[in-house]
Structure 1
Amino acid sequence: MNSAEDNILIKRSFTDVITDYYQLTKPGITMSVLVSMLVGFILGSGANINFVTLIHALIGTYLIAAGTGAHNQFIERASDGLMKRTSKRPLPDQRIDSKSGMIFSLSLIFSGLMYLILLVNPVAGAVSFATALIYLGVYTPMKKVSPINIAIGAVPGALPPVGGWAAATGNIAEPGMWLLFGIMFFWQVPHVLSIAWLCKDDYSSAGLKMLPRKDEKGIKTVFWSLVCTLSLFPVTFALYQFDISGMIFLVAGIVFALGFLFYTIKFGIDRTKANAKKMMFASIAYLPLVWIAVFVDRFFV
């Protein structure tokens, strides 16, 4: 680190430094991971929820998810510096030096792994660690290679409820957890595609090969968005058919999927940035609303 960087760091307060490390963990994504893990844990627990195990699962999952987000920023610090939406992150803005970022992120990942193995169960630890490995070792480098990265990235993005179910049951062989995986997977693809359409110039300037880069007319973007949004309907119905969730969830899930589909179709008809933004907000609203329906169905019916 040069003297100019030293001077910048010296003048910054302790609170500023803590805030930057917190931002490094991608707190929004980390919170989404925790909520999705919680849904998997509760549904996997059936009538008997072990709250001690749940607390340990939340702590261990938080550590791995936060470390994964931080290490992703460490890996992508150069390309982040080339994009307007990410150039002010702590690493490209040099508010945290790269070595410190790497040590911080890896410490979180491996401490979370050991925490889950020792205080929850090895299966939950394995699922969470696999999530981190796929995200960092496959999805992240594939962003510079092929647009298929969006489908690959949806896999680790969909694994948190599987990790929650595994934390509750110690296995990954039950159909319920994979139906939850399906909801997360099919939700995430159009969600990411809407963001990629909005930021396609930014992504291209950083050399990231998101799908809209070579899809100027948006035909492929719309096709895969519609396929995945429509797939939410049978998965939602299957959760009801397998008696994992009840009628409240079924009705609410279909209504929310219809709302998501409406804005996806609207984007498909007129592929403007304004409609892409509406589709993005519809996707942002969809997932928490569905998880709320799960909780209402589980605890209040």
Structure 2
Amino acid sequence: MWRGGSTAASAARALRSRLLLDPIHHPATSLAPIASARTSSSSTPSTAAANTIVEEAAAAVSVSQHTGSISDSLRHYGKCYWELSKARLSALVVATSGAGYVLGSGNIVDIAGLCCTCAGTMMVAASANTLNQVFEIKNDAKMKRTMRRPLPSGRISPAHAAMWATSVGVAGTALLAWKANGLAAGLAASNLVLYAFVYTPLKQIHPVNTWVGAVVGAIPPLLGWAAASTELSLNAMILPAALYFWQIPHFMALAYLCRNDYLAGGYRMFSFADPTGRRTAWVSLRNCLYMLPLGLFAYNWGLTSEWFSFEASILTLGLTIGALSFVLEPSPKTARRMFYGSLLYLPAFMSGLLLHRLPSEHKAHDLAEKNELDGVLFGADLQDEERARQKRQDTKPSRVQSRPPVSYASVAPFPFLPVPIYES
């Protein structure tokens, strides 16, 4: 009995679902029975109203679907642009460029100029990273850590990525030329060309690509310095030198840890000809030793206070110990330890530079001269204005003093009377 009742109930539900379709997938059809019921029980005006309701519901569903497709497209391409730009790597480039801008500034840092410089650098870096991936689609498809990128996975076309890279590269260079100066824009454009058209193909030709890539990484702080001071001086080379020497042990450790992946991708790295890893470790140690005197140079050249020379020496000594352990025992464990040490070293080094920096004397001198010149010109303008005002008063015709009516009366109608005398 219960089974028969349940069967009848299920049959009724099936019939009802056949008559009333799913309103989510068939919104217009699901309203048709309601409209037909209203049609049978109402007059012609009610039929028109029911049809209007159905049409409005269908239009609302169409608009919501269209809006959803637009938001999905924006989300999809936004994620693709984010990955093509290598946003985290570009943020590191922007940080070094901003540090260079602050170091090249005087007592007062132009916040608006700093923001424009960082924005222009971000766009140029995003363009270079995108072009790098456009040229390496086949190589990235062979490597585990890169095969899910937008281009190898087919989420975006190479032509679309190339258009994105061109647009942001031109916009970033133009922004730097407009808000900073031609030197900063030239450094940004040359770095983009060096990274995309020299370093990228060289990765498949010769291991010297690591040193060319180190030059690319050293240019952004020079760009920031040039944007702030409109020139490059000797003490502007401290941060670029630190970045250049730092990148060698950083990339050597990465190339040693990812040898098989780089080999599958067709890249020529220094570690391929060094199966034991000893030569790779020695190259890392040598470049760490090159960084030891940079803190002292920064103090002697007037870029920072004497405290930074001590702190930089301690930081570099820690990284050198990591490289020395890699030399004594070349293994993935020691290479990974040196790699993580390099990740900690760079932000600590730049923070020390900014904390102990001394304002650029040349920039401060130029600012003082500008203020003095402005003061002289302002004083001259005040003097000229005073002279002009005095001249206008001197050349202005003197007003005739008004005479009381009785004086005119004494002169004209009664000439025999003496003219009254009024003291002014």
Deviation at 1:13, TM superposition (A): 5.0
- Secondary structure at the residue paired with 1:159? helix
Partner residue, 1:100:
160
Which of 117, 125, 139 lines up with 1:57 in the alignment? Answer: 117
Partner residue, 2:345:
286
Deviation at 1:84, TM superposition (A): 0.7
The within-5 A match list for 1:60-209 is 60-172=120-232, 174-209=233-268
Structure 1 stretches (4+) deviating beyond 2 angstroms?
Answer: 9-14
The within-5 A match list for 1:4-83 is 13-83=73-143
Deviation at 1:178, TM superposition (A): 1.6
Partner residue, 1:6:
none
Assess if the C-alpha contact under 8 Å between 2:257 and 2:335 holds in 1.
yes
Give the alignment's TM-score, normalised by structure 2.
0.66
Partner residue, 2:50:
none
Report the residue type matching 2:164 in the other structure: F
Deviation at 1:10, TM superposition (A): 10
- Secondary structure at the residue paired with 2:356? helix
Larger Rg: 2
- The Cα offsets for residues 66-107 of structure 1, whole Å up to 9 and x where unpaired, read as 111111111112101111111111111111111111110111
Higher RCO, Cα 8 Å, sep 6+: 1
Deviation at 1:254, TM superposition (A): 1.2
Partner residue, 1:253:
312
The CA distance in 2 between the partners of 1:185 and 1:237, in whole Å, is 17
The CA distance in 1 between the partners of 2:275 and 2:324, in whole Å, is 18
Report the residue type matching 1:293 in the other structure: G
Partner residue, 2:270:
211
The CA distance in 2 between the partners of 1:27 and 1:16, in whole Å, is 16
Report the residue type matching 1:108 in the other structure: V
Identity %: 30
Assess if the C-alpha contact under 8 Å between 2:303 and 2:357 holds in 1.
no
The CA distance in 1 between the partners of 2:171 and 2:242, in whole Å, is 29
Which of 311, 314, 336 lines up with 1:277 in the alignment? Answer: 336
Assess if the C-alpha contact under 8 Å between 2:126 and 2:165 holds in 1.
yes
The CA distance in 2 between the partners of 1:65 and 1:124, in whole Å, is 14
Q: What is the aligned length? A: 290
Using the TM superposition, name which of 240-249 and 225-234 deviates more: 240-249
Report the residue type matching 2:220 in the other structure: P
Q: Does residue 1:226 correspond to 2:250, yes or no? A: no
Deviation at 1:179, TM superposition (A): 2.0
Assess if the C-alpha contact under 8 Å between 1:195 and 1:280 holds in 2.
yes
Assess if the C-alpha contact under 8 Å between 1:183 and 1:236 holds in 2.
no
In structure 2, relative to structure 1, the CA distance for the partners of 1:281 and 1:150 (3 Å cut) is same
Report the residue type matching 2:130 in the other structure: A
Deviation at 1:129, TM superposition (A): 1.0
The CA distance in 2 between the partners of 1:106 and 1:274, in whole Å, is 41
Give the alignment's TM-score, normalised by structure 1.
0.92
The CA distance in 1 between the partners of 2:147 and 2:154, in whole Å, is 10
The CA distance in 1 between the partners of 2:306 and 2:155, in whole Å, is 50
The CA distance in 2 between the partners of 1:71 and 1:168, in whole Å, is 28
Deviation at 1:298, TM superposition (A): 3.4
The alignment yields a C-alpha RMSD, in angstroms, of 1.7
- The Cα offsets for residues 238-262 of structure 1, whole Å up to 9 and x where unpaired, read as 1111010112322221111111111
The CA distance in 2 between the partners of 1:248 and 1:92, in whole Å, is 49
The CA distance in 1 between the partners of 2:265 and 2:243, in whole Å, is 27
Q: Does residue 1:243 correspond to 2:302, yes or no? A: yes
- Secondary structure at the residue paired with 2:303? coil
In structure 2, relative to structure 1, the CA distance for the partners of 1:42 and 1:36 (3 Å cut) is same
In structure 2, relative to structure 1, the CA distance for the partners of 1:274 and 1:171 (3 Å cut) is same
The CA distance in 2 between the partners of 1:179 and 1:218, in whole Å, is 30
- Secondary structure at the residue paired with 2:239? helix
The CA distance in 2 between the partners of 1:169 and 1:288, in whole Å, is 23
